Amino acid sequence: MENRVVERFIRYVKYNTCSDSVSGKTPSTDEQREFAMALSHELAAIGLEEVEVDMWSYVYATLPSNITEEVPVVGFVSHMDTSPDFTGKNVSPQIIPNYDGKGIVLNREKNIILSPTIFPELNNYIGQQLIVTDGNTLLGADDKAGISEIITAMEYLVNHPEIKHGKVKIAFTPDEEIGEGADNFNVSKFGATFAYTIDGGEIGELEYENFNAAGAKIVIQGSSVHPGYAKGKMKNAIMIANQLFAMIPTFEVPEHTDGYQGFYHVTQLNGAVERAEIEFIIRDFTAQGLEDRKNLLKTIVKMINSEFGEGTADLALKDQYFNMREKIEPVKYIVDLAEQAMKESGVKPKIVPIRGGTDGSRLSYMGLPCPNIFAGGHNFHGKFEYIPTPSMVKACEVIVKIVEKVGLLTTK
């Protein structure tokens, strides 16, 4: 499977499918529609049935059952877009055939080096083939690795009918990176009993809990006056924003948190004296923790308005997704099944919380329990992204093994 999954991945990352949070359309970029159509043609060519690209560019397909027994329908889901945090235009991946444990020069001209000193996880892959960037773009393993692995596993199952299995559903979604990947997902049409997103990181990751998430936007209205005559008159929105930042707990930010610790993260700041806009994402593993964080922002805004006048700061909050653990625990056997499939594929499971979210977290609340499985990549959303190809092969093998094991479950 190695040649097939690598060939697909190299081909897929050259589609610039970066999503756009302000476009106001679905998919948010036209290139995602183009990619969806290309995937649908490929799915039909390898022998899948009921292949469809809907009006929102969700791709659906079915691998028919080759057994007579009634067994649960399992699904696999990945997303087509890449992060808008870093450019995905003109991705030019490099293959490192036999990683030697030293720094990898991604771009000699710009002196960009993927260093095991900074990224010690590289030491786990000495002797393996790696796919890296050229230092100018992200790679796109999040989540074109997952798409490559799902399609390659389906192709393998089509070509190996001796592996007995029930019906398998797959879906590829747009705009996951901007929090809209499940907005128009048709759970009833998908028809799976449960599913797995192939959207995790390093080999072995198996996740069924994730952050509760919200977004926040604070608009600060200032008042511009000639600085020579500003005393008692000017309200500098930039300075007020700086004062607001100082009220955020210093160590409750991404660069100082890990494990089950939540955070506040400033993602964007635009401002002048007259007006400033601040965007946050807020994350916590407990529902109460998320509410506490939202309440702190409300308190800070009240304090700003108390000092500088009512209406100076305005806060808008929006819940984004919730911890899927609540929906997965009643059907924990699907996690156990994936864990066993990994062990039987020679992969050591690493059951960890997702310090983020996937389509699976929202799909779980839409009635489709959906844990997350590794796709194999590291350092997503930037120029230091890389993926070991043996991890991709193992992801394919785990998918095949899950399908085989579900085929042994009876619904009677």
Say whether both 93 and 237 belong to one domain: no
Say whether both 179 and 228 belong to one domain: no
What integer is the mean pLDDT of 300-312? Answer: 97
pLDDT in tens, 35-44: 999 999 999 9
pLDDT number for residue 411: 61
Statement: residue 412 has pLDDT above 60: no
Say whether both 69 and 13 belong to one domain: yes
Q: What is the DSSP letter of 329?
A: G
Q: Is residue 20 part of a domain?
A: yes
> Quick one: what percent of the chain has pLDDT higher than 70?
100
Say whether both 176 and 221 belong to one domain: no
Say whether both 17 and 130 belong to one domain: yes
Which among 278, 282, 240 has a CA at the least distance from the CA of 262? 282
Say whether both 337 and 398 belong to one domain: yes
The answer for 211, left when phi > 0, alpha when psi is -120 to 50, beta otherwise, is beta
What integer is the mean pLDDT of 249-272? Answer: 95
What integer is the mean pLDDT of 90-109? Answer: 97
**Per-chain mean pLDDT for the chain:** 96
Residue 296, helix vs strand vs coil: helix
Domain boundary among 321, 340, 364: 321
Please tell me the number of Cα atoms within 13 Å of 221 on its side-chain side. 8
Statement: residue 356 has pLDDT above 90: no
Q: Is residue 133 part of a domain?
A: yes
The span from the CA of 24 to the CA of 34, in Å, is 18
What integer is the mean pLDDT of 79-103? Answer: 96
What integer is the mean pLDDT of 146-151? Answer: 98
Give buried/exposed letters for 117-145 (b at 16+ CB in 10 A, else e): eeeeebeebeeebbbbbbbbbbbbbbbbb
Q: Is residue 411 part of a domain?
A: no
Domain boundary among 281, 305, 321: 321
Say whether both 201 and 228 belong to one domain: no
The span from the CA of 382 to the CA of 82, in Å, is 10
Say whether both 85 and 225 belong to one domain: no
CATH code of the domain covering residue 224: 3.30.70.360
Statement: residue 244 has pLDDT above 80: yes
Statement: residue 4 has pLDDT above 90: yes
Name the residue range of residue 226's domain.
Answer: 216-321
Cβ(51)–Cβ(43) below 8 Å:
yes
pLDDT in tens, 161-205: 999 999 999 999 999 999 899 999 999 999 999 999 999 899 999
For the four alpha carbons of 203, 195, 50 and 158, in that order, the dihedral sign comes to positive
Token pair 């791709």 is at which residue? 59
Please pick, among 31, 42, 81, 175, the residue that the annotation labels catalytic. 81
User: Does 69 qualify as catalytic in the annotation?
Assistant: no
Q: Is residue 224 part of a domain?
A: yes
Say whether both 118 and 133 belong to one domain: yes
What integer is the mean pLDDT of 329-337? Answer: 97
Statement: residue 320 has pLDDT above 90: no
Q: Is residue 336 part of a domain?
A: yes
**Does the reported pTM lie above 0.75?**
yes
User: Does 176 qualify as catalytic in the annotation?
Assistant: yes
Q: Is residue 412 part of a domain?
A: no
Say whether both 248 and 364 belong to one domain: no
> How many structural domains comprise the chain?
2
Domain boundary among 272, 300, 321: 321
Q: Is residue 67 part of a domain?
A: yes
Burial of 299 (0-12, 13-18, 19+ CB in 10 A): exposed
Question: Higher pLDDT residue, 129 or 360?
Answer: 129
Say whether both 226 and 118 belong to one domain: no
User: Which helix (DSSP H) or strand (DSSP E) does residue 270 occupy?
Assistant: strand 263-271
pLDDT tier, 150 (very low <50, low <70, confident <90, very high otherwise): very high
Please pick, among 42, 176, 252, 284, the residue that the annotation labels catalytic. 176
CATH code of the domain covering residue 191: 3.40.630.10
What integer is the mean pLDDT of 341-356? Answer: 94
Say whether both 58 and 186 belong to one domain: yes
